[in-house]
Amino acid sequence: QVQLVESGGGLVQAGGSLRLSCAASGRTFSSYAMGWFRQAPGKEREFVAAITWNGGNTYYADSVKGRFTCSRDNAKNMVYLQMNSLKPEDTAVYYCTGSNSGYFSGSYYSAGTYPYWGQGTQVTVSS
């Protein structure tokens, strides 16, 4: 059974940084593409970032491009989201997600691409 567990969320001032971590277990993690989504109160869930199985390709939402970096360490079964220059509008619950393929044949930004989801970690950015 696949398990994804996020950590690293918290409260930070605008302009600050946080690094989210996602620990994966239950299958050969290194073979699969992964993603990050977020959901703010009263808003729909939205795509944040995605990474292919070997980290060779990364994708970002326009709203975070240049500020967030997605990476992975397959030897440790970990995926990371480094978030810099945080803004109050980045406040949300962040979810780590796992796909069933190494690359994105479909839409990397679509929630339907990811059958596996973590429980989420809260990120709050104060102004």
Q: What is the average per-residue pLDDT within 33-48?
A: 97
The rounded distance, in Å, linking the Cα atoms of 41 and 60 is 21
pLDDT band, very low/low/confident/very high, at 106 (cuts 50, 70, 90): low
**pLDDT higher than 70, residue 48:** yes
pLDDT band, very low/low/confident/very high, at 103 (cuts 50, 70, 90): confident
Strand pairing of 34-39 and 92-98? antiparallel
Beta-carbon neighbour count of residue 124 at 10 Å? 15
**pLDDT higher than 70, residue 50:** yes
pLDDT single digits (tens) 19-30 = 999 999 988 888
Q: How many residues does the chain have?
A: 127
